[in-house]
């Protein structure tokens, strides 16, 4: 317990896959901020600090067979479950280490990528120092470090909820889960009896309802640790400056475009600010940022012109997120609703609409030759930021599946997930070696996929329905369980049809499902 330094260890965390941890995502963001990302074509080393149940680690290891992945966590219950996933998925390129950050094994290499998600805000100041020391010592020159944390000012009005919840829960009896349950009851009580804090902060009052819908194990790790801090961006930038790192951008991609994060009336102010660190601080205020995913680089090699940038990232591929998308395309990124339109985007949609292309191929397209290359690359990046385009570590397939042939799941990691976690009540991410990341599907869709792969299309809906009944998991309609048998069968049939027309073609394009 002492080496956990106040971090909860009596209750295991919940599994979750976070696509922001994918090497392709981290590399792409660095490249759009003019930092050459580490080369990955001859293999790379990746470390995740505080990997929890390791679903990001194992999914990314399965999706990037040329990378070597190491996860570290102090909680042996967590690491045992990660090891189980590694064994079941036959992941030869993944290793899990049970250790605290101050006592990592001596045989670790230096890393091209280090990721630390959901740790910095929740550990003691001394443990933060240990994390900084690991990054300083273990990140290779040119390597990228991804860190996420609770951010100010978005947490300002919510921070007292954490404070009172923990103060109440630590006085209760039992394990962290039962303390948390009692803490939640107390919060609801004081909110419903109109405690002045909640009256003065109506968004905090509404936030309590959100807490009630979360997995209680997640809430334990989020709120019951002894240490809990939300940081201003400038504090985190200064912390990692101590590890010789400089800021190289943030995720999601749109956060690198301040004009997509702040309302038009603020934009003139931003246009005149040259310093990126200052811009980030103001952006967080204008967008009321509550959570940040920052990328830092050690000894960066900069790519000031488009030629050097393309050279550094031309192993990434761009595709249209939803084929068939037409312009104008509207998207809301939290604070601003953005509209994509105009001839460049129309031609880009036509150019990459049916498959995927490297940036060099896009820039060399004759139909786009009249546009300056910088402008074109910027349009691709902004298209990615707005969700019109997607990027991947390899080309996605342009083939369509043949319904008359059997379907196959090629990857052992995906097969075991479908076998063990269909209908678990939690979404699951399947690894795609084509894109280098995971693709998340619902647990019910996972059971449809598993049935399709195991026993084909015949009487699919009946089989899925029988599986649903035997699992005890119910379908919901208007937030209520469906008890009528005929209605349930109809919903299952509709879900199977929808899966075959929408999810299955996508899984096929991503190479997760193939024809035998
Ligand atoms: C909130 S969880 C995040 C888990 C994972 N990154 C995710 O997002 O699913 C934080 C993790 O850090 C681990 N941790 C906390 N303090 C640690 C330390 N001093 N050394 C190693 N791991 C630690 C915890 O056991 C826990 O699994």
Region for residue 402 given its phi and psi (left: phi exceeds 0; alpha: psi -120 to 50; beta: otherwise): beta
Give residue 2's pLDDT.
Answer: 36
Look at residue 3 in the predicted model and tell me its pLDDT: 57
**Shared domain check, 492 and 468:** yes
Q: Is 491 part of any domain?
A: yes
Structural domains in the chain (count) = 4
Domain match, 329 and 416 both: no
DSSP, res 254: G
Region of residue 472 (phi > 0: left; psi between -120 and 50: alpha; otherwise: beta): left
The predicted pLDDT at position 1 comes to 32
Are 112 and 40 a contacting pair, CB within 8 Å?
A: yes
Distance 123 CA to ligand 1 centre (A): 9
Tokens of 227: 């240490």
* Residue ending a domain, choose from 182, 197, 223: 223
Helical H segments across 304-455, by residue range: 306-313, 343-352, 359-363, 373-385, 412-421, 443-455
Residue 107 in tokens: 């045989």
Q: Are 511 and 362 part of one and the same domain?
A: no
Q: Which residues contact 322 (CB under 8 A, 6 or more apart)?
A: none
Using DSSP, state whether 475 is helix, strand or coil: coil
Q: Which domain holds residue 102?
A: 2-153+230-298
Evaluate: CB of 73 within 6 angstroms of ligand 1. Answer: yes
From 1, 3, 6, 7, the mutation candidate for ligand 1 (largest count of ligand atoms within 8 A of CB) is: 7
The neighbouring-strand residues paired with 502 are none
**Neighbour count for residue 260 (Cβ, 10 Å):** 19
CATH number, domain containing residue 19: 3.40.50.150
Q: 401 lies in a domain?
A: no
- Note whether 453 and 498 are same-domain residues: yes
| Domain finish residue from 392, 415, 437 | 392
Tokens of 299: 């000894």
Residues 24 and 110 grouped into a single domain: yes
**Nearest Cα residue to atom 6 of ligand 1:** 51
User: Is 504 within the bounds of a domain?
Assistant: yes
Residues 362 and 495 in one domain: no
With a 6 Å cutoff on the Cβ, whether 423 touches ligand 1 is no
In short, whether 281's Cβ falls inside 6 Å of ligand 1 is: no
Whether residue 50 has its Cβ less than 6 Å from ligand 1: yes
| Separation in Å, CA 116 to CA 132, 246, 297, 393, 514 | 11, 16, 14, 21, 34
Full pLDDT tens readout for the chain, 516 residues: 335 777 788 888 889 999 999 999 999 999 999 999 999 999 999 999 999 999 999 999 999 999 999 999 999 999 999 999 999 999 999 999 999 999 999 999 999 999 999 999 999 999 999 999 999 999 999 999 999 999 999 999 889 999 999 999 989 988 999 999 999 999 999 999 999 999 999 999 999 999 999 999 999 988 998 889 999 999 999 999 999 999 999 999 999 999 999 998 988 888 887 788 889 999 999 999 999 999 999 999 999 999 999 999 999 999 999 988 999 999 999 888 999 999 999 999 999 987 899 999 999 999 998 899 999 999 999 999 999 999 999 999 777 888 889 999 989 999 999 999 999 889 999 999 999 999 999 999 999 999 999 999 999 999 999 999 999 888 888 888 999 999 999 999 999 999 999 999 999 999 999 998
Ligand 1 closest atom vs CA 50: 12
| Same domain (yes/no): 126, 21 | yes
Domain assignment present for residue 303? The answer is no
- Going by the DSSP 8-state scheme, the letter that residue 151 receives in this structure is B
Torsion angle defined by CA atoms of residues 423, 425, 426 and 432, in that order, rounded to the nearest 10 degrees: 10
CA 377/CA 237 separation, integer angstroms: 28
| Residue 191, in any domain of the structure | yes
304 domain residue, yes or no: no
Residues 433 and 482 in one domain: yes
Same domain, 201 and 236: no
Asked if residue 499 has its Cβ within 6 Å of ligand 1, the reply is: no
CB of 228 sitting under 6 A from ligand 1: no
- Going from the Cα of 345 to the center of ligand 1, the distance in angstroms, rounded, reads 42
The answer to whether position 400 is within a domain reads no
Q: Which residue in this structure is represented by tokens 């039992």? A: 174
Same structural domain for residues 138 and 206?
no
Ligand 1 mean position, distance from CA 50 (Å): 3
Q: Are residues 46 and 104 in the same domain?
A: yes
Domain contains 421: yes
Report the separation in Å between the CA atom of 423 and the middle of ligand 1, taken as the mean of its atom positions: 27
DSSP H helices, 288-401, are 306-313, 343-352, 359-363, 373-385
| Final residue before a domain boundary, out of 270, 298, 326 | 298
Same domain, 379 and 436: no
């Amino acid at each position: 317990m002492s080496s956990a330094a106040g971090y909860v260890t009596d209750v295991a965390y919940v599994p979750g896959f976070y696509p922001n941890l994918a090497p392709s995502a981290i590399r792409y963001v660095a490249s759009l901020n003019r930092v050459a990302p580490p080369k990955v074509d001859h293999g790379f080393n990746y470390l995740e600090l505080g990997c929890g149940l390791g679903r990001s680690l194992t999914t990314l290891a399965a999706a990037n067979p040329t990378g070597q992945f190491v996860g570290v966590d102090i909680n042996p219950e967590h690491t045992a479950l990660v090891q189980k996933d590694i064994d079941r998925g036959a992941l030869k390129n993944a290793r899990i280490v049970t250790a605290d950050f101050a006592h990592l094994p001596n045989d670790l290499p230096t890393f091209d990528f280090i990721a630390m998600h959901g740790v910095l805000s929740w550990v003691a100041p001394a443990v933060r120092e240990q994390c900084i020391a690991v990054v300083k010592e273990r990140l290779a020159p040119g390597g990228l470090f991804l860190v996420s944390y609770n951010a100010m000012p978005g947490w300002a009005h919510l921070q007292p909820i954490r404070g009172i919840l923990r103060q109440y829960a630590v006085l209760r009896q039992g394990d962290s889960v039962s303390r948390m349950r009692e803490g939640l009851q107390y919060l609801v009580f004081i909110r419903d009896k109109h405690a002045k804090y909640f009256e003065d902060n109506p968004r905090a009052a509404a936030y309590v309802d959100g807490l009630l819908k979360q997995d209680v194990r997640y809430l334990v790790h989020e709120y019951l640790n002894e240490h809990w801090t939300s940081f201003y961006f400038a504090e985190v930038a200064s912390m990692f400056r101590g590890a010789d790192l400089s800021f190289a951008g943030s995720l999601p991609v749109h956060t690198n475009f301040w004009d997509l994060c702040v309302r038009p009336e603020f934009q003139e102010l931003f246009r005149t600010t040259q310093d990126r660190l200052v811009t980030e601080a103001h952006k967080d205020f204008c967008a009321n940022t509550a959570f940040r995913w920052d990328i830092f680089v050690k000894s960066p090699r900069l790519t000031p012109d488009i030629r050097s940038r393309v050279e550094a990232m031309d192993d990434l591929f761009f595709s249209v997120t939803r084929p068939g998308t037409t312009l104008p395309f509207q998207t809301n990124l939290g604070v601003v609703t953005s509209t994509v339109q105009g001839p460049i985007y129309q031609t880009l949609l036509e150019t990459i609409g049916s498959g995927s292309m490297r940036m060099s191929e896009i820039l060399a397209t004759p139909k786009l030759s009249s546009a300056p290359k910088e402008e074109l690359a910027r349009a691709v990046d902004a298209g990615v930021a707005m969700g019109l385009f997607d990027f991947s570590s390899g080309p996605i397939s342009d083939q369509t599946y043949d319904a008359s042939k059997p379907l196959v799941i090629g990857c052992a990691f995906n097969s075991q997930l479908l076998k063990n976690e269909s209908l678990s009540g939690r979404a699951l991410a399947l690894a795609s070696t084509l894109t280098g990341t995971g693709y998340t599907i619902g647990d019910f869709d996972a059971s449809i996929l598993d049935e399709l792969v195991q026993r084909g299309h015949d009487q699919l809906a009946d089989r899925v329905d029988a599986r649903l009944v035997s699992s005890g998991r119910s379908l919901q309609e208007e937030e209520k369980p469906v008890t009528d048998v005929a209605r349930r069968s109809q919903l299952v049939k509709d879900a199977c049809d929808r899966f075959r027309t929408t999810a299955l073609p996508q899984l096929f394009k991503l190479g997760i499902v193939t024809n035998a």
